[in-house]
Amino acid sequence: MTRRWRVPKLTETPELEAFGRELRRAREESGLSLRALAEAVAASHTVVSDWERGRHAPRPPRVRMLEHVLQLAPGSLSRLLGYLPPGDIEKGAVGVLQAAQSDPRLKDRDRRILAAVYRELVRKNEEGPEP
């Protein structure tokens, strides 16, 4: 049985831009060309270029391949996109925002609402208890 990933569509977000910058930095530090990295992760060089430019995000399995090929710590690129590396849920290493970003059942609007509510609750609690 093949697992189908439903990935939140990220377009022109700070997360996608940060992912692209980090991917390019890691690729250049590793000495790989765009084409060599593309071949190593079974993608076209134009797709890898689009990832580096922040045009769109790869699916979670491909991100894990990138981390492996570029010899990065597991989860280092995944976290930039809000994906959860395998095992993080069991370890209890999931934050509210991270969980919302990685849940494929939520739409982008739902994620923004959850993030706004969470931040507002944190802000209110930092001000002190309610009367």
CB 38 within 8 A of CB 44: yes
| Token pair belonging to 69 | 């090929």
pLDDT of residue 50: 94
pLDDT (tens digit per residue) in 12-63: 678 888 899 999 999 999 999 999 999 999 999 999 999 999 888 898 889 9
pLDDT (tens digit per residue) in 62-107: 999 999 999 988 888 988 887 765 455 445 455 677 777 766 777 8
Residue 38 CA neighbour count, 13 Å, CB half: 13
Helix 60-69, helix 14-30: angle, nearest 10 = 30
**Residue 117 CB: number of other CB atoms within 10 A?**
12
Distances (CA, A) of 90 to 87, 95, 125, 128: 5, 13, 28, 32
Name all domains of the chain by residue range, CATH numbers in brackets: 1-83 (1.10.260.40), 94-131 (no CATH)
Listed residue (87, 82, 67) closest to 13, CA to CA: 82
Q: Taking the model in full, what pTM does it have?
A: 0.59
| Token pair belonging to 51 | 């990832």
CB 69 within 8 A of CB 41: yes
